[in-house]
Structure 1
Amino acid sequence: MNKIIIISLCALLLHQEAKAQTGPIAGFIRTNLIGHPVIHDKASWVFDPDVAIKRRRQFISLHGDKGEKLIERLGLGIDGRDEERLEEQRKRDEGHLGGLNFYLP
């Protein structure tokens, strides 16, 4: 049993050496201590921190001040029955204070 484990470990080590074309010590250092070269690549993104301020007016006109229109539209679904659901919800909420029954008898 021990011989099989040793042989398979040696085969794995030889396979990694042939694949990486570096020694086992260099491969260990590269993968565990330094890290792969992909980790050290520099990346840059175009980022505008003021874009939220610029788009706030557009969001409010589309979705309401706190997103109430957006939440309502998400609750209506996308299967083409949104008008029916909106009508049902308005009937359900008629006479309620914000949809709550707590303050009504």
Structure 2
Amino acid sequence: MIFIKMKNFIVCTIIAILLLPNPSRSDPLTLVRDLVQFNVAGHPVLHKEVEWPFDPEVGIRRSRQYQELNGPLGEWAIERLGLGIDGYDRERLAKQRARDEGHLNGIDYLTP
């Protein structure tokens, strides 16, 4: 019973919203066109064709630059991220190197 009342309320609310006069668009044909265009066919931007210049070889060409800056597998990039950007990177690097002294890249359980 409650479901039917809620369903009727929702239907009445939708009809009231659709029938209320809109001061900017008072033409009923405009309302119908907008309902069809934006709800059925989709927004006009979705149907607009756009071309983007794309070069699939740019990744191969930039690989050398990336490896020079971040190491062959990006390990230097990960290290730089761990050092932070607040200007205390050298102090953190010194602490990390002192902590890792005598370890196999900081991993204890692989050393005998």
TM-score calculated relative to the size of structure 1: 0.79
Selected match of 1:93 from 90, 96, 100: 100
In the other structure, the counterpart of 1:103 is 110
In the other structure, the counterpart of 1:56 is 63
Over the aligned positions, Cα root-mean-square deviation in angstroms equals 2.8
Selected match of 1:83 from 85, 90, 95: 90
Selected match of 2:38 from 28, 31, 39: 31
SS at match of 2:22: helix
Q: Name the % identity.
A: 45
Residue segments in structure 1 that go unaligned for 5+ positions in a row: none
Would the aligned equivalents of 2:100 and 2:106 in 1 still touch at CA under 8 Å? Answer: yes
Q: Does 1:47 align with 2:35?
A: no
In the other structure, the counterpart of 2:78 is 71
Q: 1:6 to 1:55 in 2, by over 3 A?
A: closer
Mapped to 2, the partners of 1:58 and 1:44 lie a distance apart of 28
Residue segments in structure 2 that go unaligned for 5+ positions in a row: 1-8
SS at match of 1:90: helix
Mapped to 2, the partners of 1:25 and 1:40 lie a distance apart of 20
